[in-house]
Amino acid sequence: MLIDTIKKENMLALKTKDTNKRTVLSIVINKYMIAGYEAKANGKTLDDKDLISIIQKTVKELEEEKESYEKGGREEQVKNTINQIDVIKGYLPTLLSEEEIKKIILSLPDKSVPTVMKHFKTEYAGKCDMGLVNKVLRSLN
């Protein structure tokens, strides 16, 4: 599982004293553990799709954090945040391109917005940007 890889990378970052990498990997691991406790309380288990979702949310949070640092003129923090974003983006699958999304939408029998969005959420969770799916869908209509 992907979480095992991240834990190993975290230990390696600890040994090599890479504090930036260790910080962001620890954040992801902690969020995964918290989500695991919540899932277990509801009788569910987490898989790689859940971890990818956690990583994507963390990337969004770091992007917002970076913008705040840029507004405050804190260049060192901006660099650190960019490095952290790069580290965890490496664990995300390659996102579908606009062209691939368009092909998938055209292959669907029902091209209504709710149906297409539901299809992408279930079949391509974590593998596509839902905003881009919406944009492509609207350009086809």
Decide if pLDDT at 126 tops 80: no
Question: What's residue 71's pLDDT?
Answer: 92
The last residue of one of the domains, among 46, 72, 89, is 89
Rounded Cα gap, residues 58 and 88, in angstroms: 8
Asked if 9 and 25 count as a contact pair (C-beta separation under 8 A), the reply is yes
Q: Quick one: which of 51, 53, 4 has its CA closest to 12?
A: 4
* 12: helix, strand or coil: helix
Its pTM stands at 0.76
Tally of domains in the chain: 2
The answer on 60 and 23 residing in a single domain is yes
Structural domain that includes position 40: 2-89
- Within this chain, do residues 103 and 62 fall inside the same structural domain, yes or no? no
Average confidence (pLDDT) over 106-130: 85
Q: Are residues 71 and 17 in the same domain?
A: yes
pLDDT digits (tens, 9 = 90+) for 4-19: 999 999 999 999 999 9
73 shares its domain with 104: no
Q: Do 117 and 75 share a structural domain?
A: no
Whether residue 71 sits in one domain with residue 12: yes
pLDDT score of 125 more than 80? no
Give the CATH number for residue 28: 1.10.1510.10
To the nearest 10 degrees (0 to 180), the angle between helices 2-15 and 19-41 is 150
Element containing residue 135 per DSSP (H, E)? helix 130-140
Of the ranges 11-15, 100-104, 108-112, which is most confident? 11-15
Mean pLDDT throughout 93-98? 85
